[in-house]
Every structure is written in C-alpha cells, then in structure tokens.
Chain A
Amino acid sequence: MRRNMRSLVFAVLLVFVLGVAAAAAPVKVTFWHSMGGDIGKAMEAMIDTYNASQSEVYVESVFRGTYPEVLNATIASAMAGTAPTVVQIYEVGSLAAIDSGVFVPLSEFIGPDDVDWNDYVDAVVNYYRQGDIQWSMPFNSSSAILYINADMFRAAGLDPANPPKTFSEIIEASKAIVESGVAPYGITWPLHTWFVEQWMAEQGVALVNNDNGRSARPTTINTDTEEMYRIFNWWKQLYDEGLWINPGVEDWDQANALFMGQQVAMEITSTSDVTFLTNAGREAGFEVICAELPVPDDVPRQGVVPGGASIWMVANNPKEELEAATKFLIWMSSPEQQVTWHQSTGYFPIRKSSIALLEEEGWFTENPNFRVALDQVLETIPGVGTQGALIGRFQEVRNILEEAFQMVMGGTSVEAALAQAKAQVEQSFADYNSLF
C-alpha cells in the first residue's frame, strides 16, 4: 500500500513536471537573414532582446549570406523539406517568392486587430501587398542617398551645405574635386542595377511594362527610352572623364572602402549605411553629410522605390510554429523596435508612430543625416514608377544591365549595349512567363 502510494505520488509529480515543462518550453522559430557586419550585430541584439523579453517563442537566427543566396537557399530547402520558419527576402525577390509557392501569406495568420496596418509607411507596406493579400512583414527599408565628405568639399572650394542635386551638378562637383587634387576621383557607387532602378523611379517611369509588372507579369524592359539613355549617358560620361571610380559589380563594401579611404569625395549608397559611414568618417577625421539622391536635370523629382527586405513565412511548417513566428514578426515591426533598428543602422522606420517617437526625442535635429534618408521616402509621389517593379528573375535582369554598363565602359555605345540587354531580358521574361 505504501509502495502504491509512493508510485502514485511519483506519477502525479511526473505528470506535473512534464506538464509544466511542456507549457514552459518555448516554440522554436528559425530565422534566416542577410544582415552581415555591423548591421548584423544590430539585428542579433534585437533578437536577443526579444528572446529575453518573453518565454513563449525562442528565435534562432542564422546569417545565410547575400540576399540572392538566402532566397535561393530557402526555395531549395523548402523543396527538400528542411526550410526555416521565417526568412528575410529582399524586395526584388518578392515575385519569385510568391511564384515559388513556398511561402504562406502573412495575412493568413494576422487577424484584423493584431496589427494596425494604417500605421505602416504606405509606400513600404504596399510594396508587399497584392490586392487583399499581405504577403510578408516589412522590416528593413532603405533607399539610395548621396554621402558627402564635407571636409573635401570645403578643400575643393565647394559648399557642403549646398550639395549637388542634379546629374550635371554631380559632374561639376566631381570635376572641382579632381582638378583641385583633393581626391583622385569625384564619386563612386557600386556597379549595381539598383541605382538605375532608383533613377528610373525618380523620373516617374516604370522599369518594365505591364505597369511595372503589377498588372501582369512583364514582357519587356524600358531600356530603349529617353529616361534610361539619360542615366547611362551620364554614368558613361563620369566614367570616361575619370570622375566615377568602379568599385566592382554589386560590391557595396568596396564602394564604402573608397569613400572611407578618401579616394572619392562622394558616394551614393543605401541609407542603411548612415550610421556606419557617419561614424567611420568621424573616426577618420572627416565630416559626413547626407543629401538626397541626385536626379537628371530638368526632371521633377518623383521619389524612390523603397528598397530593403521583408520577412516571409515558409508554408510547410507546423501551425504553432507559424503562429509563434507571427508574434515575433509583429514585435520586430513594432514602433519601439523600429526606432532601435533605425538608430542603430539607418534603415528608415517603417512605422508612422516610430517617426513621431523619434521627432519627440529630438533625434532628427541632432542627427540631420537620418532626416534626409527619411524625407526622401516620405516625399515620394506614389506612382507606377516609384512603386517598383515586380519581376520573377529580377537578379538576372540586374546582371544583364550590369553587363550592359560594363560593355559601355569597354567602348560599346550606350544604344547598342542597351539594345542587346533588352533582347536578353525579353528572352528571360518569355521563358519565365511560359511556365505559368
């Protein structure tokens, strides 16, 4: 009898302990992302904060390389049944992500009262929305801006408070810098199609047809247009006259290295580097001033495409894991976290209330460089051009245009290089569309 009692007590205890353990064990959510370097550390810090703040969800984050690599690895692993729960996908991977059938729309897990979509910056949230379907949670958004080495500007007799605003002003400023011997080159930016996309948007025109791929999958690209010629001819002139230095194809780090090493007095790159470059300049003993992206002469500024990435949920996962992931995503895009994220990187806050919080704090008065990055997005006029293109094989289009500019650098005419690019892109689109 006593033995029986003892086993009963033991059994009850066991059930109790296991029950508590089951209730306390957090649901594990795996998260693949592309945030390396200082930005990666900022993201890891946020995730650590989240894990420490509650006990229901545990997020395990993995850095999986560049944006194209993460998208590719996710689709491959989803086919093999080993995909993570949530993934950071870059904005131009959106159509590929949708078409791959690997992801489940976020709106299936978010009830009407869970999130106040009206508080999200419209341009950003619209990018990831198709009709009523909200595909993913916006997280990091950026655009292209001009960084100026103010000390070099002054040394070259230029006024950093009055930065170049147009293509021809960039040429003039670059000439002044090179001729005065302040730096060997005037300006740099990565040899990346992203900038071409931004300059098409600034002119208010679509990159591809079918309303930038929003009304139907695109069939051709607008490379044989006045707007595209303007961009390429200006870029070619800068290169031919030794004013722009090539940091390499899609090589963000090398472009930053040239700017920090004072080989150039200006750099165009993502707003996500505001913190990094401003601090790097301070350490190297020069002042960094940010200005809006320069635009073609005599063209009214339309604004930029919200670049960056959003977080997607992989369909083939247990329901409770996806529900836990939803909580994590809501937290990551919450106004307070977006403030932290903005202050530690330069990605602009995607919540209207974050902007209000920052203004209250006096953040923008103290850090005017961050203001520029934000204003450029808030001033963007919604339109077919500034909404950005939806393309399935976007990376291929980027590669083709990057090749086209390299051909121009090698002596091919702008018209010929872009005509060849158009033919290649049309072939790629036709192949892609034939599968739907």
Chain B
Amino acid sequence: MIDRKRGDTNMRAKFPGKLLPYLFLLPTIIVCGLFIYYPAAMTFRTSMYQSLFFGARQRFVGLQNFTRLLSSPAYLRSMGITLWFAFLVVVIGLSVSLLVAVLLNRKLLAAKALRVALVWPYALSPAVAGTIWLFLFNPHSGLVNYLLDLIANKKPDWFSQPGLALSMLVVTAIWNNFGYNLVFFLAGLQNIPDSFLEAAEVDGASFWKQLFHVTIPLLSPTIFFLLVININYAFFDTVGMVDVMTRGGPANATNMLIYQLYKDGFQNFNSGLAAAQSLILFVFVVVLTLLQFRTTGRMVHYGG
C-alpha cells in the first residue's frame, strides 16, 4: 500500500516552473488566436470604420455604422423578416421532422431504405438545394405550378409576390435541413426504452397522447439541441439559397439579415457596415440562445 502510494508520487512527473502547461496549450492558443480571436477583433475594429475595398481605404466613424443600421427602417424590416423566417423554419421544420422520425421509428417495411432516402437532402449545400427548388417553383415550367394547375387551376408567380417568395424559401430551407433533424430525432428515439411506450399503450394512450406525454418529454434534450442548431441554420446558412432563388426580392421581402450583410460586404465594398451587421447578428443570436437556455432549457429533462 505504502509502496504503491510512494510509487504514485514518484511517478507523477514534476515539471519546473509554471510555464510548461502554457507550452502545451500553445498550439490551441495559436490556432484559436489566428482563426477566431484575431478575426473577431478585426471585425470589432472594422465596424468602427467607413471602409472601402476590404480596408484599402478607411475612415474612423465611431458608432455611426451601428446608429445608421438601427435607425434604418429597411434594416429593421429585414430583421423582422429574418425573425419570422427563422420562426417558421424552426417550428414547422422541427414538427414535421419529429413526426416523420416517430413514424420511421416503427417497424416498417424498408425502414432503413426510407431513412437513407429522407436523410439525403442534407448532403446538398443550400445553394444547390436553392437551384433545385428554383426549377420546381418556376411559374411556367415548374412541377409545383404544374400540380397546382391540375388541382386548383392556379399558377401563382412565386417570384413576384412577397408572401409567396418567402414561403418558397421556407419550404426549401426546411427541406434542406430535414435530414439533419431526422438523424438526431431517430437517434434520440432509439434511446427511449420500448417498455415506456408499451406501458403507455397498455394504459390505452392514443398515438398523439404517447407522442406528447411520453416521446416528446423524453426527447427534450434532442429537441433543445436541434432548436439551437436550427435557429443558427435559419439565420446564417440560408444566404446561398436566398441568393440563388430571390436575391432578397421582390422589393426586399426576402432580404434576410445575412443576405444584406453579404451584399454590403461583397457587392458594395462596404466592409465597415458589413462588420457592424455581423456584430449585431452575433449579439442577436447570443441573446436568443441565452433566452432559450433560460426558458426552454429549464424544461429539458436529461433523465437519470
């Protein structure tokens, strides 16, 4: 006993000085510093400048970029559109994928093949997904209007009407992220012991009762995780989709915050304004995520 104890103390390496731990941390510090903290610091700095051509010309303007954005009706409108879009994508997207996951989790014929087929869309980048749906929604030659024409004798112009253009993007965004949500829901569902659901069934609970009172509470960690991920998806990853499908139109009706940022930063050579926008977006998402941890986070049941 004593020997072993001594052996332990002897074997524990003793390093001179307090610097060594930092030496081991150095690679991480360098990588994070170079690729995360330095760019972030530059973004803060750039946001205080009126600048042209990625900083080739610039002039310090203090908080002007921020005051201008926050007092611009167009920017505030874009913020409202983004929130509405994110709300629709998250709520509809998560509900539909949860429902499909529950159905797929049953003992179905060819369940595995179906799962693969449904997860597939996630492999496509948002820009490619946008291109596919652009063809489907084409008012004259697209499949969507062909079917609508057969069923309801209508051929709406998806690209000229604000409401339709936004709903088109919502559908595409949900479809693109559907596979991702499905994988996590299926994994979560497989962790729920069959005995729980069997007990509920013996007690005579209907499909919906089982869903709301057994499955969803037990899935709450997964749902919470997907909520955060999907909000980030709706806020940031949809820029390619918007660019391909609507370019923010008609009349800015689908001009998301991230697309406005892209236009200012990369088409209008206005890095200062774009940097300010990225900081506003950053604060926005941090606040939203914190709010979730405060509210929804409390309802999460991690089991055990």
Contacts and interface: CB of A to CB of B under 8 A. Distances in A.
Contacts of B252: 403, 406
B52 interface: yes
A257 B141 CA distance: 10
Contact of B247 (A249, A257, A396): A249
A248 interface: yes
Contact of B268 (A395, A409, A435): A395
Given A246-B160, A410-B162, A428-B268, A99 B53 contact: yes
Contacts of A42: none
B250 A432 contact: no
A301 B141 CA distance: 37
A95 to B, nearest CB: 11
Given A75-B53, A435-B58, A403 B157 contact: no
Given A75-B269, A403-B252, A407-B251, A431 B50 contact: yes
Contact of B140 (A258, A399, A436): A258
A184 to B, nearest CB: 8
Contacts of B51: 435
Interface string A59-84: 00000000010001001100100000
Contacts of A258: 140
Nearest to B252: A403
B249 A406 contact: yes
Contacts of A254: 138
Given A246-B160, A435-B58, A395 B267 contact: yes
B268 A396 contact: yes
Given A407-B251, A434-B50, A436-B57, A72 B159 contact: no
A403 B246 CA distance: 12
A100 interface: yes
Contact of A399 (B56, B57, B263): B263
A402 B250 CA distance: 9
A100 B251 contact: no
Interface string A199-232: 0000000000000000000000000000000000
A129 interface: no
B209 interface: no
B57 A435 contact: yes
B270 interface: yes
Given A246-B159, A263-B140, A431-B50, A403 B268 contact: no
Interface residues of B, number: 29
A431 B247 contact: no
Contact of B54 (A76, A248, A402): A76
Interface string A395-420: 11001001100110110100000000
A44 to B, nearest CB: 23
A101 B56 contact: yes
A75 B270 CA distance: 13
Contacts of A76: 54
Contacts of A101: 53, 56
A96 interface: yes
B267 A396 contact: yes
Nearest to A257: B141
Interface of A is mostly: helix
B16 to A, nearest CB: 42
Nearest to A96: B269
Interface string A277-298: 0000000000000000000000
B157 A261 contact: no
Contacts of B54: 75-76, 79
B247 A72 contact: no
Interface in B268-304: 268-270
A72 B266 contact: yes
Contact of B250 (A99, A396, A406, A435): A406
B53 A100 contact: yes
A250 B247 contact: yes
Nearest to B251: A406
Contacts of B270: 393, 431
B304 to A, nearest CB: 51
B267 A399 contact: yes
A100 B52 CA distance: 8
Interface-centre pick from A68, A263, A435 (highest chain B CB count, 10 A): A435
Contacts of B263: 396, 399
B269 A410 contact: no
A409 B252 CA distance: 12
A32 to B, nearest CB: 16
Interface in A257-271: 257-258, 261, 263
A409 B160 contact: yes
B213 interface: no
Given A248-B159, A261-B140, A409 B58 contact: no
19 contacts: A72-B269, A75-B56, A79-B56, A96-B53, A99-B52, A100-B53, A100-B56, A248-B247, A249-B249, A258-B140, A263-B140, A392-B269, A393-B268, A396-B263, A396-B268, A399-B267, A406-B252, A409-B250, A431-B270
Of all A-B residue pairs in the complex, the 6 with the closest CB atoms, nearest first, are: A406-B251, A396-B268, A406-B250, A435-B57, A100-B53, A407-B251
Given A72-B269, A409-B251, 8 more contacts: A79-B56, A99-B52, A248-B249, A396-B263, A431-B50, A434-B50, A434-B59, A435-B58
